Amino acid sequence: MTDLAAFRDPASVVVVGASTNPAKWGHWLARGALLGAGRRSVHLVNARGGSVLGAVTVPSLADLPDTPDLAAFAVPAAALPAAVDEALAMGVKGLLVITAGVPRQEEMARKARAAGARLIGPNCLGLYDADTNLALAWGEFQAGSLAIVSQSGQLGSELSGLAAAAGIGVSRFVSVGDQADVVAHEILADLVDHDATGAVAVYLESFGDGERLLAALEALRLAGKPVLLLTIGTSRAAQDAARSHTGALTTSLDVVDAACRAAGALRVNTPAALVNAAQLVVRAPRVRGRRVAIVGDSGGQGALAADIATSAGLDVVAFPQPVRDSLRRHLPAGAAVANPVDLAGAGEQDIANYQRLVAVVTASEAVDAVLLTGYFGCYARDIPAQAGEEVEAARGMCAAAAAAGVPVAVHSMAEGTATITALRAGGAPTYLTVEAAVTAIATAAEIAALPVRGPAAPAGDVTTIAGMPPHGYDAARRLLVGAGVAFPPARLVHEERELAAAVAELRAPYALKAEWIEHKSEHGGVAIGLADLAAVHAAFAGMRDRLGPGGYVLEEMDTRPHAIEMIVGARRDPAFGPVVMVGAGGVEAELRHDSAVDLADLNRERALAMIRRLRCLPLLQGWRGRPAVDIEGLAEVILTVAGVMRACSDLLDLELNPVRVAPGGVVAVDALVTAAAPAKGAASPAGSRPGAGSGRSAAGCR
């Protein structure tokens, strides 16, 4: 028995605050609890006594005949502490706290754990388990196969309502509320062996212990229960004033996406998108790829579906000739058979033609999923005499899909007909809008394509730089050169008299950089294309006049032809730890907004996958007659930056921009680091999280 067992199938429950008033939580809890009275003993506590929904109440917990496994509380905040204390004293092992506005929650949670109990909430909407007939929540639930774990009770409730409408229902629902004790990743881990659960919906606003959360998501994935995640961040992220390009290019959502990808979960944008995808995932065979066949009985609807599918990233594949020939046998002359398939009246001739066509395309090796759009489902509504035939065709379609292991998603203008019911029962998800069907297929294809995380590449040996200056280009350069990133040869100079010697050791043309200035080109802190000592002198004099004394880096310019400017960066996320980013670089990086993010524990394959996700990939592969550049070398830089970030626990962020990727190799020509302020008078311990007060200081590397 895990310590959460009391929340799964308690032998007895008590509702503290049961009420006769349907506007009160205590009413809904009592109502739900009583539905499970056949399976467990149910007690109701109401201070004023009397009966609730026909069941006798007792005035207090003390009046119960024995100790219930689970107590649900819907009492005013002021009355809660005493009630919880009483329950713990009795030996109750599960506390479900609906009450909101509870002060000193941490103390209450500590007490519960000390008593060997666990607490869900406070400020939650309750829980539900279809299998064990446990309903302690506001609202109605339809039993089914989607588990819902939500940090917002009402959003969970919305998901539950959508799941009911989609006919997939809910296997388990847990509103985790303020997570004073039990947190979301525990509930998720507890779902791994929950047989009724076919897929999991999660809504989280914060991620707490990212590592344990990812472990729970990975375990669910291994158990064959796809996880779809909702979170917020788009509009909040806009408020984050970002100091570096990397900051602007890696919003919190990008990091969540990277974390989900690493754990085999998928973030979606809306509750409806989540449930639409879940309907496909729990009903139909696995979508193996993005090649979709569209079958319809209207040229217009088919063409529109093809457009929408293409926009959603699906491939409306042109059918091979044998498939076209097979389709043609069931269709009138001139009907479209290339994809989309247009029945062109064949359905009116014989409804079974729908099933025959779907059987042909599902059997084709060229198709990963089928979208049926149009009038199918409406025969039963408009022509009652044909309802039976249509239901038969629906069943045949489902059998063909199951036999081929290819899902069929149905967009139908009809709702609630016997045909729709037969489709759903047979494993074909049905949707009222074509975009819902399309995005469900696209989302399911994305889930199926999620890579396996794989082992992290070794972090590498990063040498601590003793006395490393607080920040700036020179320090970053030295740190990264030490880790293996190539930079052009350079000399650090402070005074005019050092210039001649530096020039003598380097090859023209030169670049001169005020090493402590961020965004140098904007602030006149960089001069490029300096041909000789005279030009270097002039540039130095001007810059020093404007910017004052400091370190100036004189550097050979990277003038290799066909170099493409990229950016590689990393930062530390509070929940998911170090993350790494690659993107189109240079001063226009933010404008391009073309970047990919992954957790820093990645490996070569994942680094290459990041590069492949970039819109500018064709540029790297050789655009319009230009040679391909060193993509492998760029992946190596990503891995190195990730390794530095993992090894140097005090680095807050790190950025190479631009990284010049040419056919012959990769050279970084600017860099920036920010380190956390070290604890006063103490070396920052390796592996510790950076303090809240970030600053610019030496990076502590192991």
Binding to a second copy (CB under 8 A) within 19-78 occurs at 22-23
Which listed range, 49-57, 440-448, 518-526, 679-687, lies at the site for a second copy (CB under 8 A)? 518-526
Which listed range, 10-18, 306-314, 605-613, 678-686, lies at the site for a second copy (CB under 8 A)? 306-314
Q: Which is nearer to a second copy, 308 or 581 (CB)?
A: 308
Measuring CA to CA, which residue among 625, 651, 633 is closest to residue 582?
633
Residue 548 has which token pair?
């004052």
Q: Which is nearer to a second copy, 112 or 378 (CB)?
A: 378
Q: What is the CA radius of gyration of the chain?
A: 31
Which listed range, 149-157, 260-268, 356-364, 651-659, lies at the site for a second copy (CB under 8 A)? 149-157
Binding to a second copy (CB under 8 A) within 109-138 occurs at 138
Q: Which is nearer to a second copy, 392 or 435 (CB)?
A: 435
161 binding a second copy? (CB under 8 A):
yes
Q: Which is nearer to a second copy, 47 or 77 (CB)?
A: 77
Of the residues 66, 107, 193, 205, which one makes contact with a second copy according to CB under 8 A:
205
Residue 283 neighbours by CB under 8 Å, 6+ apart: 168, 407, 424, 427, 428, 429
Closest distance of CB 125 from a second copy, Å: 10
Of the residues 66, 307, 350, 496, which one makes contact with a second copy according to CB under 8 A:
307
Q: Which amino acid is at 183?
A: V
Of the residues 2, 269, 321, 688, which one makes contact with a second copy according to CB under 8 A:
269
Measuring CA to CA, which residue among 501, 650, 635 is closest to residue 568?
635
206 binding a second copy? (CB under 8 A):
no
Closest distance of CB 468 from a second copy, Å: 28
Residue 143 has which token pair?
């039993």
Do the beta carbons of residue 409 and residue 401 sit within 8 Å?
Answer: no
Q: Which is nearer to a second copy, 134 or 204 (CB)?
A: 204
Cα-based angle 474, 480, 484 (whole degrees, multiple of 5)? 140
Q: Which is nearer to a second copy, 193 or 382 (CB)?
A: 382
Per-residue binding letters, 85-104, with a second copy (x by CB under 8 A)? ---------------x----
Closest distance of CB 231 from a second copy, Å: 9
Which listed range, 255-263, 491-499, 514-522, 598-606, lies at the site for a second copy (CB under 8 A)? 514-522
Closest distance of CB 291 from a second copy, Å: 13
Closest distance of CB 70 from a second copy, Å: 24
**If residue 480 lies in a helix (H) or strand (E), which one and from where to where?**
helix 473-483
624 binding a second copy? (CB under 8 A):
yes
Measuring CA to CA, which residue among 473, 481, 487, 484 is closest to residue 553?
473
Closest distance of CB 334 from a second copy, Å: 9
Which listed range, 6-14, 158-166, 218-226, 506-514, lies at the site for a second copy (CB under 8 A)? 158-166
Measuring CA to CA, which residue among 185, 168, 281 is closest to residue 226?
281
Residue 60 neighbours by CB under 8 Å, 6+ apart: 45, 47, 86
Q: Which is nearer to a second copy, 68 or 429 (CB)?
A: 429
| CA–CA separation, 448 and 247 (whole Å) | 30
Binding to a second copy (CB under 8 A) within 406-445 occurs at 413, 432-435
Q: How many residues bind a second copy (CB under 8 A)?
A: 71
* Residue 478, φ and ψ in degrees, nearest 5: -65, -45
| CA–CA separation, 410 and 394 (whole Å) | 10
| CA–CA separation, 198 and 429 (whole Å) | 14
Closest distance of CB 311 from a second copy, Å: 6
Of the residues 126, 139, 177, 426, which one makes contact with a second copy according to CB under 8 A:
139
Cα-based angle 301, 304, 310 (whole degrees, multiple of 5)? 140
Q: Which amino acid is at 71?
A: A
| CA–CA separation, 370 and 357 (whole Å) | 11
**If residue 359 lies in a helix (H) or strand (E), which one and from where to where?**
helix 352-363
Closest distance of CB 22 from a second copy, Å: 5
Closest distance of CB 670 from a second copy, Å: 14
List residues bridging with 129 in a β-sheet. Answer: 134, 172
Do the beta carbons of residue 650 and residue 678 sit within 8 Å?
Answer: yes
Q: Which is nearer to a second copy, 335 or 358 (CB)?
A: 335
Closest distance of CB 387 from a second copy, Å: 11
658-689: b or e for each residue (b if 16 or more CB lie within 10 Å)? bbbbbbebbbbbbbbbbbbbbeeeeebeeeee
Q: How many CB atoms lie within 10 A of CB 555?
A: 26
C-alpha distances (whole Å) from 630 to each of 216, 593, 642, 659 are: 37, 22, 19, 12
Of the residues 152, 246, 251, 595, which one makes contact with a second copy according to CB under 8 A:
152
| CA–CA separation, 397 and 426 (whole Å) | 9
Binding to a second copy (CB under 8 A) within 625-654 occurs at 625
Task: Sort 413 into a burial class: Cβ within 10 Å, 0-12 / 13-18 / 19+.
Answer: middle
Binding to a second copy (CB under 8 A) within 533-592 occurs at 587-588, 591
Closest distance of CB 224 from a second copy, Å: 28
Of the residues 616, 631, 677, 696, which one makes contact with a second copy according to CB under 8 A:
616
Closest distance of CB 539 from a second copy, Å: 16
Closest distance of CB 609 from a second copy, Å: 20
Binding to a second copy (CB under 8 A) within 373-402 occurs at 374-375, 382-386
Q: Which is nearer to a second copy, 21 or 467 (CB)?
A: 21
Q: Which is nearer to a second copy, 34 or 70 (CB)?
A: 34
363 binding a second copy? (CB under 8 A):
no
* Residue 692, φ and ψ in degrees, nearest 5: -65, -35
319 binding a second copy? (CB under 8 A):
no
Of the residues 2, 51, 206, 310, which one makes contact with a second copy according to CB under 8 A:
310
* Residue 122, φ and ψ in degrees, nearest 5: -75, -175
CA 177 to chain centre: 21
702 binding a second copy? (CB under 8 A):
no
Closest distance of CB 323 from a second copy, Å: 18
Pairing of strands 143-150, 199-203: parallel
**If residue 380 lies in a helix (H) or strand (E), which one and from where to where?**
helix 379-382
Q: Which is nearer to a second copy, 512 or 620 (CB)?
A: 620
Binding to a second copy (CB under 8 A) within 214-243 occurs at 230, 232-236, 238
| CA–CA separation, 476 and 480 (whole Å) | 6
| CA–CA separation, 125 and 157 (whole Å) | 8
